Amino acid sequence: MSEARRAAVRAVGLEKSYQLGEQTIRALGGVSLTVGQGEFVAVMGPSGSGKSTLLHLLGLLDSPDAGSVEIGGRATAGLSDDELTALRRDELGFIFQNFELVPNLSARENVLLPAEVSGRLAEAERELPALAEQLGIADRLDHRPRQLSGGQRQRVALARALINHPVVVLADEPTGNLDSRTGGEVLALLRHGVDALGWTVIMVTHDAAAALVADRIVFLRDGLVAGETATAGEGARQRIEEFLAS
């Protein structure tokens, strides 16, 4: 198989700047990243280094100023809005840094929303109890987001990301607001998805312990890839610490 076909996500030369009044902020200065099918990649880097911007571009939520993104070997440049929406809906699952739950929908309605849009609501309704049980939100499904703790909101967002069985899960700080036990459960769930269900996961995290659950860590700095390390074997933790300290 060609490299492009084995890649779940392939980004080449991504550039993105934001205009803030007179000021141009370069969030990404040319980032290339290939993530194989069934690979779990963590992205680390200081605040403002472009991690969320990268995840948004990989998730086709925004388009780059330059560079390209392929999902499952398929180029995304030039796709219509409808085609992009379908690709996002059917192939990608998102867990955003700020959850982005719909405030006046219950947890259940939030989780089921992507399934409803995809026309597989009945199937998702059948699957929801097991998923909610696994994520520890089974007794909170009738609550609105503001009636949930930060950690519970996080898990509702995770359930929503997983309800359509995405090929690629993009997670921005999925453990950022969780206590270590709940955070560990979320990581175990993502790891299980990769190992047993064939998911591909790209996860932004500040937490070295979380990053070590991935197969590979990519470091960003000032909108550029500043290095990477495999997590297997000796020394990965030390390489993370060296990067964070440098």
Smaller CB separation from Mg ion, 52 or 182: 52
Closest residue to Mg ion in the complex (CB): 52
Q: Any idea which residue has 């007179």 for tokens?
A: 22
Q: Residue 46: exposed, middle, or buried by beta-carbon count in 10 A (0-12, 13-18, 19+)?
A: middle
Residues in the chain: 246
Handedness of CA 48, 236, 188, 210 (dihedral sign): negative
Single out the segment in contact with Mg ion by CB under 5 A; choices: 38-46, 51-59, 117-125, 153-161. Answer: 51-59
> Binding residue for Mg ion (CB under 5 A) from 10, 43, 52, 194?
52
HSE-CB at 35 with a 13 A cutoff on CA atoms is 32
> Binding residue for ligand ATP (CB under 6 A) from 1, 21, 24, 47?
47
The token pair that represents 82 in the structure block:
């409808």
Q: Which does 182 bind (CB under 5 to 8 A by kind): ligand ATP, Mg ion, none?
A: none
> Binding residue for ligand ATP (CB under 6 A) from 7, 27, 171, 213?
27
HSE-CB at 127 with a 13 A cutoff on CA atoms is 14
- Asked if 57 interacts with ligand ATP (CB under 6 A), we say no
Contact residues toward ligand ATP (CB under 6 A) are: 18, 20, 25, 27, 45, 47-53, 97
